[in-house]
Structure 1
Amino acid sequence: MRLPLGVCLLSLVTVPAVASDFTLNWPVDCSLGETCHIQQYVDHDPSPGARDYQCRPLSYSGHKGTDIALPYLSDMQEGVAVLAAAPGVVQGLRDVMPDVYSTEENAAALQGRECGNGVVLGHEGGWETQYCHMRQGSIRVEKGQRVAAGTPLGEVGLSGRTQFPHLHLSLRHNGQVVDPFAPLGPEACPAGTDAIAEVTVTNSLWADPIPYQPGGFLGTGFSTHVPEFQAIKSGTAGSQRLTTESPALVFWAYAFGGQKGDRIRLSISGPRGEFSVHEITLERNQAQFFRASGKRLRRESWDYGRYIGLAVLLRGEEEIDRIEQEIHLR
């Protein structure tokens, strides 16, 4: 059946949640910060801008849910379960839409079905959760079925209006959108600062605390050339075998939550020490992005041995994240 998407996509977060002991469990069978990440949060900014519950731009204008993303398309293809966040009853579902990237060409076909495949659960006290962009053919529940928290509903997918495999989790109370991280909204937003210190929130609806990450790396790899972004997102960019005779050594880093002015420092070290350092400044906010740097082979061969690529994400003077990749050339 068709899911009730209108409220999810068009209404604003205007009414705070009432006091309740309703709580949510983590809805994806993944390890946050390792095999998945939160790409976007509920937008708390009523203007055309965007602001998440930490007063930062890890959202987009009018976004009504929490996007829990997988790093690569290959992760989705292996199968990652979506779990009921709370006990409830299946009110609606859809499982017929293909897992494809949304484009201008298929925009008309997605009109009114932006959620893709998914499930809607009703809970006691006027609460409702909606699970979007699930994998075609993966839905495991039926309308009217009662489920416990943690019950597998299906799998993370790429259906509907999306550019990356993820679960969009919407929470509503009596029809109004609620941010489970801050149901009453941010308690205070510091003015005129880009510091990454967290805003204190004491009214989260999550059963277990969920740390906030203001951006970070999703993966890295080496190649003989700068890969296509689509190859990185699919998980195939790091499959190339490199040798001492490779024509170039290129190190790339894939990240999320980039903000204008962020700096990505890429370096490569080999048996003779560091030989490539490149720092790149982001010119605009980017939900997902990659940067690459390296050297061409200028002599007969590369040195035999271990090479380490290091990527560091800097915001002002703060280090947001760092990641290393090691390869051995033979």
Structure 2
Amino acid sequence: MTSRIRDIKERPRALLLRIGAGALALMPAPLLADPPLLGLPVDCALGHSCYIQQYFDRDPDKGEVQDHGCGALANDGHGGTDFAVASLEQVAAGVTVVAAAPGTVIGTRDGMPDISIQDPNAPDLEGRDCGNGVAIDHGDGWATQYCHLREGSIVVEQGQRVAMGTPLGLIGMSGRASFPHVHLTVRNGDQKVDPFAPESGPAASCAMAGTDEEAASRATPGGREGLWLEPPAYVPGGLIAVGFASKVPAIAEVRAGLRTAPVTSPKTPALVVWGYAFAGQAGDEIEIVFEGPEGEIGRHLDVLKKAQPFVLRAYGKRTPASGWPWGVYRGTVIHRRGAQELGRRYIETEVN
């Protein structure tokens, strides 16, 4: 019979099931045993249909943030990795959360609504920050937890054995979540572990960047780097989605899953190229290039004045009195950080 997370709070492993996305990160400690080899906890194409919105915060000091890539793509005290999707449309379609490694289900919770914690109608969480979730014991003191799953989507029960890749539920936005994602926490005993760099401390790993000592600091007792079967590339920010619209869209429209019409009327009120990015930092550039059948129509460069977890920028033109000439119109959106290009995406629509 399925056990809900709150029903096993007195068990030794219950700490696993009470975590929240904002729980404090702990200082690195020696690992108890060889860790499990982890696959991705989501059935999606990382970098295309899903992305990592936040990493593990490795800096234990309050107010200080550092991820394993020596960047700041984490909230203060963030004790896991957030695998996100761009829109609620994807949530409705269903993006499967899977077991990252073989093990035994030790707890589940379902029945919490999918609603942003920023929504005034969001329910009182009463300590249930994880929302709908699953926890799995992998043996030798290792466990994983999967939070913020979609209401009604949990398909495993307490005591069930699972293999790597076994479906657990679907990505949602339950509990303390403000965007659709699954929050993966890895634990070794009572210690939260960064699956990208399980042994290294924040100052050491970044101070030694590019050295043999850095590589050694990232190795597990088994000698491999990190806990991943295939380590995901470190991505410090970039573009999530781009599109054409007849006006500057609201961010709520984009998050809902705003689509670009393949064919557009010559008399549409305007043609606007929009770009939606994540992990913007002060000084980042968002450039939008707007082209038509006769060449470039215009371009716009915006420099971010402050850090923003999500960035929406748009540029376009009102429709001329005679209407838009027939042909293919193309938008290009580029996200840059200094000399580094974090993302470049294209979108087209045909006017006829």
Q: 1:100 to 1:239 in 2, by over 3 A?
A: farther
Cα distance in 1 between the residues matched to 2:299 and 2:112? 45
Structure 1 position 17, deviation (Å): 4.5
Q: Aligned pair 1:53/2:56, yes or no?
A: no
Structure 1 position 51, deviation (Å): 1.2
AA paired with 2:149? M
Q: Deviations over 1:184-237 (max 9, x none)?
A: 13553259x9xxxxx854430001121111111111111111111011001035
Equivalent residue, structure 2, for 1:41: 55
Q: 1:8 to 1:242 in 2, by over 3 A?
A: closer
Structure 1 position 241, deviation (Å): 6.0
AA paired with 2:25? L
For the Cα contact (< 8 Å) 2:272–2:314, is it kept in 1? Answer: yes
Equivalent residue, structure 2, for 1:13: 26
For the Cα contact (< 8 Å) 2:129–2:176, is it kept in 1? Answer: yes
Match of 1:64 among 76, 79, 83: 79
Q: 1:134 to 1:6 in 2, by over 3 A?
A: closer
Q: Deviations over 1:269-315 (max 9, x none)?
A: 00121111100011111112210011112331111101110011111
For the Cα contact (< 8 Å) 2:262–2:350, is it kept in 1? Answer: no
Equivalent residue, structure 2, for 1:275: 297
For the Cα contact (< 8 Å) 2:24–2:78, is it kept in 1? Answer: no
RMSD: 2.1
Identity %: 43
> 5+ unaligned residues in a row in structure 1: which ranges?
194-198
Q: Aligned pair 1:91/2:106, yes or no?
A: yes
Cα distance in 1 between the residues matched to 2:316 and 2:327? 17
Structure 1 position 9, deviation (Å): 4.3
Stretch moving more, 6-15 or 82-91: 6-15
Q: Aligned pair 1:325/2:339, yes or no?
A: no
For the Cα contact (< 8 Å) 2:38–2:100, is it kept in 1? Answer: yes
Q: Structure 1 stretches (4+) deviating beyond 4 angstroms? A: 6-9, 199-202
Match of 1:257 among 279, 292, 297: 279
Q: 1:107 to 1:157 in 2, by over 3 A?
A: closer
Structure 1 position 105, deviation (Å): 2.8
For the Cα contact (< 8 Å) 1:43–1:61, is it kept in 2? Answer: yes
Q: Secondary structure of the residue that 1:287 maps to in structure 2?
A: strand
Q: 1:7 to 1:103 in 2, by over 3 A?
A: closer
Q: Secondary structure of the residue that 2:91 maps to in structure 1?
A: helix
Q: Aligned pair 1:228/2:250, yes or no?
A: yes
Equivalent residue, structure 2, for 1:248: 270
TM-score of the superposed pair, with normalisation by structure 2: 0.87
For the Cα contact (< 8 Å) 2:285–2:304, is it kept in 1? Answer: yes
AA paired with 2:46? L
Q: Aligned pair 1:213/2:235, yes or no?
A: yes
Q: Aligned pair 1:188/2:240, yes or no?
A: no
Equivalent residue, structure 2, for 1:196: none
AA paired with 2:185? S
Stretch moving more, 16-25 or 66-75: 16-25
Q: 1:104 to 1:324 in 2, by over 3 A?
A: closer
Match of 1:135 among 126, 131, 150: 150
Cα distance in 2 between the residues matched to 1:239 and 1:163? 28
TM-score of the superposed pair, with normalisation by structure 1: 0.92
Cα distance in 1 between the residues matched to 2:91 and 2:207? 38
Q: 1:190 to 1:250 in 2, by over 3 A?
A: farther
> 5+ unaligned residues in a row in structure 2: which ranges?
7-16, 220-224
Please give the residue correspondences for 1:291-330 in structure 2 after superposition, counting only pairs within 5 Å: 291-330=313-352
Equivalent residue, structure 2, for 1:166: 181
Cα distance in 2 between the residues matched to 1:279 and 1:210? 30
Cα distance in 1 between the residues matched to 2:81 and 2:74? 9
For the Cα contact (< 8 Å) 2:243–2:260, is it kept in 1? Answer: yes
For the Cα contact (< 8 Å) 1:117–1:159, is it kept in 2? Answer: yes
Q: Deviations over 1:53-110 (max 9, x none)?
A: 0110111101011000011111111111111111111111101101111126356612
Cα distance in 1 between the residues matched to 2:329 and 2:262? 15
Q: Aligned pair 1:113/2:128, yes or no?
A: yes
Q: Secondary structure of the residue that 1:20 maps to in structure 2?
A: coil
For the Cα contact (< 8 Å) 2:330–2:347, is it kept in 1? Answer: yes
